Structure 1
């Protein structure tokens, strides 16, 4: 009996060690680390409305790498030991990364919210690229007190009465390429057929109306308030600041439509957290998250299930503004950008 009792004790001890071991090991490992490369603005709101809820739901610790598009993409290109799993980028820069093989192709069957991406961004889905998760647009802002015409069309920018009154974005900025498309369309030429030759002819004709090109949209408010300019091609997110400086300022979509930029989320090739990266992207595309960020971050939703009030929609790119908006083919633009920059600087910056 003593032997049997002793054997039972040994078995119970061994069982308790085996059963407790994995639990202790699991708790010791802690949450999975997910490294996200993104812009550095509105971090406090992003943590509250996007990152923290995901961390709690998935037992994840999110680590951010921040900087502008160019800095972060260059860092990824030049660092073979990068730990970044997911990268937020504007469409032009995302396409650069795709062309250089830096990102995974996306299997949209793994994204339950992929079917709700706005049709305007469907071409990105069709390429199996990282999806658009929000968008913004370039249109025309003008001070009606300092112009002699009512502006309704992109072609109105060439009106002689606007001499010395206009600012346009630098070519290397998010909406710089849209100016090339605007000019080429004025000439009645498909820009992909002549690599922008007709556009540059039109920009040369526009030069008397230009005060300067700008790199920072935040500078526009001062330029308007000082009377330095009366018209600008600018992004929707810059208008509130201009409106604060010039209360009568108008922001209009020309008859031909504005130009849309999609901000995207891509998965870095070779990530060890592939499944988790898919989970995060699906979460970022969800109606719940997009509804929150449309209000707290003024991010225009890409999910067609999101319904905005008239007041909220007025501040964003939504509804008809998206439907009639124009897109830019960055698979083409990125192949000619270096040549364009040289010609642009020769014509407009000398």
Structure 2
């Protein structure tokens, strides 16, 4: 009997022991499962992004990055209309991000959790004062012109109003990426306050500019054709379009006004309902690092917003970088977006009728 009890007791101890090991193994398995960080972004250069941006982050933080790709409007609408969205971080244009701030769908950023934000260029630092996600890349507008055909130099946006340029220029349409920037340029020419007068002075300047305008454009490829055919000799252009235009019209020169240009940013924001905010902060900090922005300036052709990045002349070519970036001014989309519908209507009546 005693022998039987001893065997039973030993069996019970072994069973409990194995059960305990099994439980521990399950705990370890759970703890080793990789967290998923869902990033909503454009479906561009995915192979390069995976190799240069996502893979090093996954390895460092033992996580898996899952992409949700699409156009800006598609991705923004999907996030804005789904309170159960799994997206943690979303890449957006500055204009669309401002809509999200107004709709209160993004996390108010605690910049003490993003150490690399201290190195942002002045215009990007100004953008952080709104309390939302930082800019990770920048482009800006300047002037492209055919110096030989014109017979004189253009150095400032104010030169666009010269009477010698009647019927020779093209500017971005109000609905394009740099349409709002053109409103700011026109406002500066008249010395207005775009926030308080809601663009009235800008439209006065555009009416004065109208005789010089051949047409407004929506795509930089249209500009390339107009320069190549001699239809225009001057245009206000985003610097990302320089290679496209110069490939069609190599005689055309680009100038960024010394008095300053207007910047356009791509930003990163955190979904207010994200369950991985700590990891999202780490990813944003990585995206702003000197190491990564030096690499992506070359591999993705992204102008850095980290002021400590040093680029070689060939990599810096045609980018908003150095003094150009330091002199760039921001467009306040908190002012622009509520006025845009009215601006589009008035713009079309003045310039496109």
1:228 aligned to which of 223, 228, 231:
231
2:197 matches 1:189: no
Alpha carbons of 1:24 and 1:330: their partners in 2 closer, same or farther (altered >3 Å)?
closer
Partners of 2:240 and 2:61 lie apart in 1 by: 32
Preserved contact between residue 140 and residue 233 of structure 1 (Cα < 8 Å): yes
Partners of 2:258 and 2:31 lie apart in 1 by: 60
1:31 aligned to which of 29, 34, 59:
34
Partners of 1:243 and 1:166 lie apart in 2 by: 16
CA deviation map 1:216-265 (0-9, x unaligned): 22332222212222211111110011112222211101232211112110
- Give runs of aligned pairs for residues 64-213 of structure 1, distance below 5 A: 64-213=67-216
Aligned partner of 1:52 in structure 2 is 55
Q: Report SS of the residue matched to 2:180.
A: helix
Aligned partner of 1:22 in structure 2 is 27
Preserved contact between residue 83 and residue 273 of structure 2 (Cα < 8 Å): no
Structure 2 unaligned spans of 5+: none
Segments of 4+ moved more than 4 angstroms: 1-8
Partners of 2:135 and 2:260 lie apart in 1 by: 20
CA shift, 1:8, in A, is: 5.1
RMSD: 1.9
Preserved contact between residue 127 and residue 330 of structure 2 (Cα < 8 Å): no
Preserved contact between residue 43 and residue 69 of structure 2 (Cα < 8 Å): yes
Q: Report SS of the residue matched to 1:300.
A: coil
Q: Report SS of the residue matched to 2:183.
A: helix
Q: Report SS of the residue matched to 2:144.
A: strand
CA deviation map 1:14-39 (0-9, x unaligned): 34323322234445xx4322221222
1:13 aligned to which of 14, 18, 42:
18
Q: Report SS of the residue matched to 2:196.
A: helix
Q: Report SS of the residue matched to 2:152.
A: coil
CA shift, 1:138, in A, is: 0.6
Partners of 1:233 and 1:17 lie apart in 2 by: 68
Aligned partner of 2:276 in structure 1 is 273
Preserved contact between residue 166 and residue 232 of structure 1 (Cα < 8 Å): yes
Partners of 2:71 and 2:213 lie apart in 1 by: 27
TM-score, normalised relative to structure 1: 0.93
1:312 aligned to which of 311, 315, 324:
315
Preserved contact between residue 154 and residue 256 of structure 1 (Cα < 8 Å): no
Preserved contact between residue 298 and residue 315 of structure 1 (Cα < 8 Å): no
Asked which structure has the greater CA Rg, the reply is 2
Partners of 2:84 and 2:20 lie apart in 1 by: 42
Partners of 1:139 and 1:125 lie apart in 2 by: 24
CA shift, 1:11, in A, is: 4.8
- Tell me whether 217-226 or 330-339 shows the greater mean CA deviation: 217-226
CA deviation map 1:93-114 (0-9, x unaligned): 1111101101010011111212
Q: Report SS of the residue matched to 1:247.
A: coil
Alpha carbons of 1:228 and 1:82: their partners in 2 closer, same or farther (altered >3 Å)?
farther
Alpha carbons of 1:48 and 1:115: their partners in 2 closer, same or farther (altered >3 Å)?
same
Alpha carbons of 1:108 and 1:160: their partners in 2 closer, same or farther (altered >3 Å)?
same
Q: Report SS of the residue matched to 2:340.
A: helix
Alpha carbons of 1:221 and 1:93: their partners in 2 closer, same or farther (altered >3 Å)?
same
Partners of 2:140 and 2:279 lie apart in 1 by: 31
How many residues in Structure 1 have an aligned counterpart in Structure 2? Answer: 348
CA shift, 1:79, in A, is: 3.1
Aligned partner of 2:219 in structure 1 is 216
CA shift, 1:339, in A, is: 1.2
- Give runs of aligned pairs for residues 246-265 of structure 1, distance below 5 A: 246-265=249-268
